[in-house]
Each structure stands twice: as structure tokens, then as C-alpha cells.
A and B are shown apart, each in its own frame.
Chain A
Amino acid sequence: MVGPQLLHYGIAAVMAAAGALLALYNFFVRLRRDRLVADTPPVRIRSAAQGYVKVSGRAAAAGASPARAPLSARPCVWWDYEIARLERDRQRSQWHTIESGASVELFALIDAEAQCLVGPVRAEITPTTRSVWYGTEPRPLGPPPSSNPLWRAGDWRYTERLLSAGDHLCVMGELRSHSELGDVNAATAAKLHEWKQDQQALLARFDVNHDGKLDAAEWEAARLAAARASQSQTL
């Protein structure tokens, strides 16, 4: 017969062991990643061989104008965001993510002599700007305040992470020549065309308000999904 004290002791020991193993696993994952970054020699874009490379340079918009962050409308080359709501019950209060998203648009990386395009889909990105602010509406009424307020104003939390044009970046990944990659925008258009062949499936997937047609926001969601799908196949 196992006493309750001994049982508690056993549970605590198992939890401590699991925590220690998890910490050890995270340590090895981070060590491996840091060593990979440190041990991969940087290359210049103009003479880089195709394959896994490390390049560094300044971020720039791939097109004529930079993208706009969805919550703050700040100019950037990459963004991701999260909108969370504080939900309270009798015992505790907890943030629940209501909406989130990430940019799938390509951006340029420019070194001293040349440039390449960077596909952010499935990339692990360390942003140069991270803003967290609060409000009372499901969508923020303006950009984040320049300084952190002393108290939280509202039950909605907005988190935005950005890479801005001109930021110095170090990028690691598979480098492909333009001729091999083809036109990514054309690939997105082709993917959308493919989806449009089956209107029912397209509506079932993106017609959120079920009015039988895709409005501007729904079409934008379809376009982003197509860009993500085509990049996953080509990059």
C-alpha cells in the first residue's frame, strides 16, 4: 500500500524529471541551432553557390513599395501579428488568441554587390521590432504608444512583430537561382487559377460569411493562402 505522501513525492519526482528532460532537450536544440549559425561561413550573394547558405545584408521591399503591418500600418518588409482577448472566470484570467497571421510576401536582402529574395514561409524569424499594446476593441484604434503605459487599458492585447526595410539581417536557407525558381508571383497566380477550377471547394474554404461569393477580405485570405502554398512548393 502506497501512502499519500509517498504518492505525492513520486508525482513531484516524475514532474521534476520530465521538466529536467524538457530543459535538456531545449538546451540541445538551441545549442545545435547556435552552432549551425556560428559554423556556417557567410557567402556573398553575387558568388554564392546554390544550396544551403548564410547571407547577410539589409532588408528591402521586393516590390516598389514596402508592405504595411496589419495592426499598426507601419511600413515593413515582413510582419506577423496576434490579437488576444482576456477571458476571466472565477478562478483565473487567461489570454486567448482570437486572430493571428503572418506575412507570406517575399522581401529582398541586399548585400554590398547583389541581392536575393527571401521567402518567409516556414522560416524561423527573429524580428527586429516587437510591439505589444492593449485596447478595448477587437481591432486596435491606432499604432502602439511610443512608451509603455503604467497600466493595461482594455481586455484586448495586440502583438505585432516586424522586420523593417533597412534592418540588417542574417539569413540562412536554400539558395536557388531565379531561372530554377521561376516567378513566385506567377506561381501564386497559377495556384489561384487551379483553385478557381473548383468553385465549390474555393467557397467552402474561404467564404467565411457564407454569402456565396468572395468579398475583398476573403479574396485576400485566398491570395495569401495561395502564396503560402506556392512558396511551400518552390522555396
Chain B
Amino acid sequence: MSGYNSDGFMDEDYDDDAFEYSEEEEEFGHNAIIGNSAGASQLNNESQTETQPGVSADGPFYENDLLDDTGDFEPVLGSIKKKKAWEVDYMIYDPEELRAKQVNIAARMEPLLGISKEATRLLLRHYFWKEENLIEDYLSDSERTLAKAGLTAYPPPPELKSGDENFSCAICYTDGADESYLALTCGHRFCSDCYRTYVTGKVLEGDSWRIHCPAPKCKVLLGITASRLLLAQDNTVMERYEENLTRSFVNDLDTFAWCPAPNCEYAIECHVPRTAWATTIPVVECKCGNSFCFGCKFDNHLPAPCYMVSRWLQKCKDDSETSNWIKVNTKECVKCKSTIEKNGGCNHMTCRDCHYEFCWICMGPWSEHGQQFYNCNRFNEDSSKEARESISKTRQSLERYIHYFTRYNNHEQSAKLARKLLATTEKNMEQMQRELALSWIEVQFLRDAVDVLSVCRSTLKWTYVLAYYMVADNQKIIFEDNQSDLEMATEQLNGLVEDPIGQDTVDDIKRKIMDKSTYVKTRWETLLRDITTGLQENRWQFETL
């Protein structure tokens, strides 16, 4: 078995430096069991079944844990932080590890099926790697299963032959004994040049194992060995072929997905079933740093579940900018419902149509405002309330949407600004280093604070989506309290970070920011934990989506 830990460090290398080694583990985090290294290609079935987490001398990583389909694989590294409530188990694979994984599964199935390696590999792919279905079908009718997939149990190793005078290629019509040709179990013979061109064309179209004999209506699969034999001379096409094989492996399995980040070539394995996505958000973080939802492949949308996110995004797209603009910039006259845009002046409005006088802020009648012309503090007065309640229902729902959308949008924008903030922060850090003769490590607290900020912004953003669909009840009030706690703390931290060098001494600032960061982080964890358990307990009612 592979003796690599997830960071790619070999045990032996770190034997005499155990402390640093364990620190490494702490660093990269708890549940991200990053795929084992290529060593797994030399698979050893016996040792797999015997190893148990934490007891074997084989190393910290066990293949059978990986292959266990149950999904709740045990964390396999010694000093692992406890998994947070909202975190899910997943593994990251690089292309090499993906290749090894395919080899492993095939090698495990081979003795079970008792057919050749080649046939096993193709049969597995034909069954989209659903081992149970394959075994079931195979045991009930092996011949039919193979035939349906276009396979034979023991295909003779493919080889290019020549020396048959009667040979004539049905594609290019070249004939004669000199011509080298290939024939699969179906007996259709084609010259090697034509075969090569045919396979190359298919590979460049993205095909791999599904390539079959070129004869009309012949379904016999060419197979991986034969493809490699034909493409041996052309490295680029060969690489593409291998790539297609891996691609189809990841695409065919529900439990695997590519990291959607541009140019990222890692794949993620995650066993949170589709049915659980309504209450569990399978957020994973790729080695490339991209954090995304395994379920919908969208950006990390903790703590809103996938179905809500897609609904919300659809809604944001549907509600045209025009209606948004009307909502944001206009109000309806309480009396005659005509739409009014306020383009200047004070809060004392007189409707041009019905001459009703009202306050722009509270929508209550102006007569009750007395002399406070520019300042309305009557929002909760009964008459104002009545006036607002009379606003038409559709408008109210739109207003509700805008309420949440503005906040959602605000956090999205702020998250974008956070990137800018990072640049300013770095400048600030340099400045602090220079002016106050601090060491680099001493000013890192600023960067940490910005990191915390952007994580919280993202979470806050999606809590508004959750809140939008949440039916108002006492539980929602608790939820909103938690939300506003985090929001307030986040804004405060934001303020501190944006202008760190003020009147206070550096030590004060540093202490303040660090205190606030820790506080924000705690609030963030509390909120997420609460939402996760709440979703699982069905604590909230959601509008039927």
C-alpha cells in the first residue's frame, strides 16, 4: 500500500521530525483527505482487507477506506481536528490518482468476474462503474451481459497481422499480403492505417473506450489495449485518449466531479447522496483553492441548500432589471396607487394625481408629522402602519424580495471589495512593517482578518436567500438574531481592517482586530452550526418551492 500521507510527504522523510509532520496535518485541515498517491497502482488486495484505520504499520492511508462506498469513511490521519457540523467528507484526486483509482477498481473486480482484465475494464465502464449492478447482471447471465456490452470474456490480445494475400481493407480498398491489418473478435479486418485514422478521429472527438469496430452496425468494442496499440506512435493522441478515459470515469460516476475552476485538473470524490442535498450542503474545497458545492457545482453557497440557490438565482435572473428599478426607485401613492419616483426634495410628498399628502419615509399621512419636516421617526405609528399595510400585496412581495436581494447583493459586492481590501491591507501591512519596525509575522493578523471577512460575507450573503424563503415564525426570529449578530460583528471588523492605523497604538489596534476576528469567527461557526442542525431537524418552515 501506499506509504504517503495526504500531503504527499513520505512517512520516512519525516520520521525524525515528527513535530513538524503533525503540524502539517493540522495545517491542511480535517476532512480534506487528499487522495493517495500513485503508489496505489500496485494494488494489493490482501493487505487491503486486513488493514484497519490506525493500527496498521502500512502508513496512515488505506485504500479500502477509499473504496468503501458507504460514504462515511473514517478520517484516517492521526491528529485530526473534529469535523465541523457543516463539513462533509470528500477526497481530492489529481489525474494520476484518478488513473490509479480506475486500475484499483478494475483489479478488485477482475477476480470476482473471472474474466480478462481488458473485459473487466470495459464492462465496468459499460456499467458506469456501478459494481453491484454489474455483478448482479453478470451472475444472472454472463454471456448476455458481455454480448450487450460488445465484449468477449477472453479476447485474444490484439495484434497487427499481415501476410494474407486475400486481405482487402474495406475502407481504403488496399489489398495484398504486405498490408498489416487488425481484426477484433468479430473478424472484420481493416488495414492498420485506416484503423489508426479512424481511432484518432474518434479520440479527437472525445471518445475513448466506446470506440467500436468500424464495420457497419458492428458493436464489438475496440478495447483499451488495442487502442493503445494503434496510437502508440502518436503521443499527443495517446495522451488525449488517456485523458478521455479519465474524463469518462469522472463523468460517469455520480460520486465524482471535476473542480469547476478554470484550468484545474483535480477531481473530487464526495459521497453525500443527492437525497441529502436539501439539508446538507456538500461544500468541498479543491487543492487549487476553489471552494464549491459538489451538488450543483456552483460557488460555495453555505448555508443555503442547492435547490434554494438555483431557485434564487433563477429569480434574480427573471425579475427584470426594470421591475427592480421601479421597486427601488419608486413608491405607490397610498391612496390612488399611482407610481411615484422621488427625484429630489424633502420627504413631504404630494401626489400629483390625487393630491394626497404623505411622508416618503413612513408612507403615513403628512398631517400627523407636525413640524418635523426633514425627519421622520413615526415609522411605527399606527396610522403609518395602516398606510403601509394598504400598499398592494404584489408590491409587498416584491418589496420583500428587494429587501433580501439588496442585502444579498450588498454582501456579494462587499465580497468583491474584499479582494480590493486585500491589496490595501497588504499595503497597510508593509507600511506598518516599515513605520513601526514590526516583523512580517507580526502584521499577518491583518491578512487573517481579511480572510475571515470574506468567508463571513459569503455566508451572510446566502443566509439572506435562506431567510427569503423561510416562513416567518419564532424560529426565524432566532435565526435572524444570529444572522444580525454576525453581520454586525462583520461590519465592525470590516471597519477596523479598512483603517487600521488611527489614533490607537499598534498594540491596541492589533489586539482589537485580533479580538474582533476571533469573535466574528466564533459567531460564524455558531451560525453555521445552528443552521446545519436546524436544517437537519426541519426546524424552519420554507415556502413551498
Asked if A pairs with B, the answer is no
